[in-house]
Structure 1
Amino acid sequence: MPTPAVALTSVEAALALLTEGLQPVAATRLALSEALGAVAAEAAPLAAPLPAADIAIIDGFAFASADLLGASPFSPAVPGGPLHWVEAGDALPAGCDCVIEAGLVDRSGPLVEVSGEAVTGSGVSRRGEDWPADSPAVTAGHPVRAVDILVARMAGLTDLPVRRPVLHLLNVGGATGATASAGLVADLARAAGAQVTSVTAVARDAAAIGGAIDAADGELLVLVGGTGTGRGDATAEALAARGILLAHGIALSPGTTTALGRRGAVPVVALPGAPDQALAAFWTFALPAIDRLSGRIRPPARVLPLARKIASAVGVTELVLLREANDAWLPLAVGRFPLHRLAEADAWLAVPGDSEGYAAGTPVAGFTVSATSIA
């Protein structure tokens, strides 16, 4: 891990500067076709249970089960009243509580004979069995899932109240570019519930970067690339020139050259261009900001013992890739994430800067490598 000459800002202090006073964005209503992955802003209770009445789940004849007690091929039942044919999805006629297959009903003679009995609810989905009345279709603070949209559609809803912060993404790549990393960040941000409005390539000079910053909108600004100390790395310079730079050089590995700022109320996160560094800094800073803006409730980590020890440098928060093996977390990489290790990883953890690591067998909290933040 490189050790810059300048003092590094701790992850905890940097994150506090970035997210101070950050509040969830205003709720909006999205059509069901657009709501997948957005964070639910409030519960949306159903006005009626699902199904709203007892319905058939097979094609057949509807009866009162009491009229079929003891029915068999040797002693068929002869129910009275009219014969009711129903198809899957039809509401049951009044007085009926079961549906039997057509092959058990003989209509060839003067009387209808049924050669099999059925219990109450056979062939039927009972009222409220799928979803009780007044229960919400979505849970506030949780991403909208495909099954949530299914429930909403079945209940007749056309939209849902959600919070989807707008993340403006700038690829500070110039001619060589950090396009792959910018694409990774865009995918992760969308998976976390944000709306990504731009992945624009910006030349690696302070004037071009500054102009792109001035033109950017949204609730969160993320830049990818240009955060190092090389001749073409001018992102921090552009932030400083606008008086919005809070920190450049974070005690984080990977991701030491990350820069952070605030443009008014808008958090600004400048990620290194290397994929592993961009990913680590995204998990550590951009994702907590998205969570604050969307009101997302942090998913729980999975606690398992370490299969082997983790050694970490004091003074730097080091991220560790983990793979689950035999009900334990197996460390794959510390402070540097080769792509093949990223592909193998199930989770990650952050070893705080005041720790030298963890002994084998220590229970640690692993966060899935999908959109999960540490704060």
Structure 2
Amino acid sequence: MIFRTDIETNILYKDTCMNIREGTAAMQDIELEQAVEVLLAHTTPVAETERVPLLDAVGRVAAEDVRAGFDNPPFDRSPLDGYTFAAASTRGASAENPVTLRVVGEECAGDFFDGVVGAGECVRIMTGGAIPKGCDCVVRQEDVREDGEQIHVPFTSEPYENYCYAGEDIKKGTVLIRQGQCIRAAHLAVLASEGYGDVLVRRRVRVAVASTGDELLQPGQSLRPGKIYNSNLYLLAGRLKELGAEVTVVGSVPDDVERAASVIASYADKVDVFLTSGGVSVGKKDIMHGVVPALGAERLFWRVCMKPGAPAIAYTRGKMLGIALSGNPFAAYATFELMARAALAHLAGETEVTRPRRRAVLADAFPKACPGRRFLRARIEADGRVSLPDQHESGSLFSAAGCDAFVDVPAGTKPLAAGTEVEVVIL
């Protein structure tokens, strides 16, 4: 594997950082939406597919449309425990003058009454049982008086009362799941109800994840002065697994351009995405500015016009996409959810790659002005309002643990009062 020499890399790294600090053309400040567009333009959905059992399909992306092969339910059926008969048999019935019907059979779910029910006859039927020929209604067992081999019906029944039609839930030919949909548990039930035991899905997106920084310790090691635990690695790896990716945990990468580039390069032909946190600002040890050219990679952009998470780098090395996020925990989380997640969804073959948005009312005030675009961690309450935690600093992650949304605050916004209508990104 060929890398630039130490001298070339160091000069390139110093020049890059100097250009960034001095605000020359090398710095690329772009809007979040533009950053997402750039990532989508430089990624192609994985082509490989595999057929997996239904229970292994949760979180996977369907590789083809799947249609219903038959009406569901496949027969007219009863929605309750009771008796089924022809409604005309009870014409004129009342509490004072009930109609008596003879019980000619019993049918549980899974049974089939292979006969025709005539006038003045009925069949005892359980929930889910197929309604026999000659019957067009069902009455609850508690609404009639049972008397050995007959029942007394004290009212006139209506045709198709308590009656479930064949195909009432799903018509033959209905698309059960579309290509590009992420498969959820409810989809499994629908597919199973149509007799499917497996489904064709795209292979999982392969992602390597690492954190940069000489200050990082792994959980379980003794905490030492000046050191912190590598929490970002667990945040990103855990989130990737929740989203269905095939995750390779690289661990911590030292603050050394050549060593970091060597690690990342070793995965270029193995993963679709290399995701890192840290090393993207303008400090002495923000190495990712030097790592990208040392890799011989194409830098797509640096800095996104948002807070938190502005210092982010995207690059490509061959077919591998690299995304370098801030080392601040919540900044990394925000940029991952709002930017990187879209690229991952696109790679996975999903048709919907951005998060849904809606308008909501703030339950709490936010006392600070926002000169630049800002995303506030938030929680959607049962009443539909949006509550805000007390902590919003980039380095604070604990307050985000119970959040399920971001409030998108436009640049130039004054402090927000409780009751203000805002735009919310749902995670």
TM tier, shorter chain?
A: 0.7 to 0.9
Amino acid at match of 1:115: V
Amino acid at match of 1:196: E
Q: What TM-score, normalized by structure 2, do the two folds share?
A: 0.71
Distance 2:125 2:187 in 1: 29
Structure 2 counterpart of 1:129, from 168, 174, 185: 168
Give the conservation status (yes or no) of the 8 Å contact 2:60–2:204: no
Distance 2:339 2:146 in 1: 70
The residue that corresponds to 1:66 in the other structure is 88
Structure 1 counterpart of 2:405, from 342, 347, 365: 347
Kindly tell me: are residues 271 and 14 of structure 1, through their superposed partners in 2, closer, same or farther at Cα, counting changes over 3 Å? same
SS state at 1:222 partner: strand
SS state at 1:366 partner: strand
Amino acid at match of 2:350: G
The residue that corresponds to 2:290 in the other structure is 237
1:1-375 matches, cutoff 5 A: 5-7=21-23, 8-12=27-31, 14-26=35-47, 28=49, 29-72=51-94, 74-79=96-101, 81=118, 83-102=122-141, 104=144, 106-108=146-148, 112-117=150-155, 118-163=157-202, 165-172=204-211, 176-177=217-218, 179-192=230-243, 194-204=244-254, 205-216=256-267, 217-228=270-281, 233-246=286-299, 247-293=301-347, 294-297=349-352, 298-304=354-360, 311-314=369-372, 317-324=373-380, 329=386, 336=394, 338-343=396-401, 345-351=403-409, 355-357=411-413, 360=416, 363-368=421-426, 370=427
Instruction: After superposing the two structures, state which structure 1 stretch, 100-109 or 254-263, moved more.
Output: 100-109
Distance 1:362 1:76 in 2: 63
Aligned Cα root-mean-square deviation (Å): 3.5
Amino acid at match of 1:5: R
Kindly tell me: are residues 18 and 113 of structure 1, through their superposed partners in 2, closer, same or farther at Cα, counting changes over 3 Å? closer
Distance 1:248 1:135 in 2: 46
Distance 1:362 1:140 in 2: 39
Give the conservation status (yes or no) of the 8 Å contact 1:202–1:212: no
Distance 1:92 1:245 in 2: 67
Amino acid at match of 1:215: S
Kindly tell me: are residues 26 and 304 of structure 1, through their superposed partners in 2, closer, same or farther at Cα, counting changes over 3 Å? same
Give the conservation status (yes or no) of the 8 Å contact 1:186–1:196: no
Give the conservation status (yes or no) of the 8 Å contact 2:357–2:424: yes
Give the conservation status (yes or no) of the 8 Å contact 2:261–2:291: yes
SS state at 2:424 partner: strand
The residue that corresponds to 1:373 in the other structure is none
Q: Following TM superposition, by how much is the alpha carbon of 1:249 offset from its aligned partner in structure 2, in angstroms? A: 4.7
SS state at 1:172 partner: strand
Distance 1:14 1:100 in 2: 61
Give the conservation status (yes or no) of the 8 Å contact 1:19–1:267: no
Q: Residues 108-165 of structure 1, C-alpha deviation per residue, up to 9 Å, x if partnerless?
A: 37xx333344444444432222233332222454432322221111111223344464
SS state at 1:253 partner: coil
Structure 2: gaps spanning 5 or more residues:
1-19, 103-117, 219-228
Q: Residues 155-198 of structure 1, C-alpha deviation per residue, up to 9 Å, x if partnerless?
A: 11223344464131322356525642222223333444x42321
Distance 1:285 1:180 in 2: 20
Q: Residues 205-235 of structure 1, C-alpha deviation per residue, up to 9 Å, x if partnerless?
A: 4444334323322332212344455666544
Greater gyration radius = 2
Stretches (4+) displaced over 6 A: none
Q: What TM-score, normalized by structure 1, do the two folds share?
A: 0.79
Structure 1: gaps spanning 5 or more residues:
371-375
Give the conservation status (yes or no) of the 8 Å contact 1:254–1:336: yes
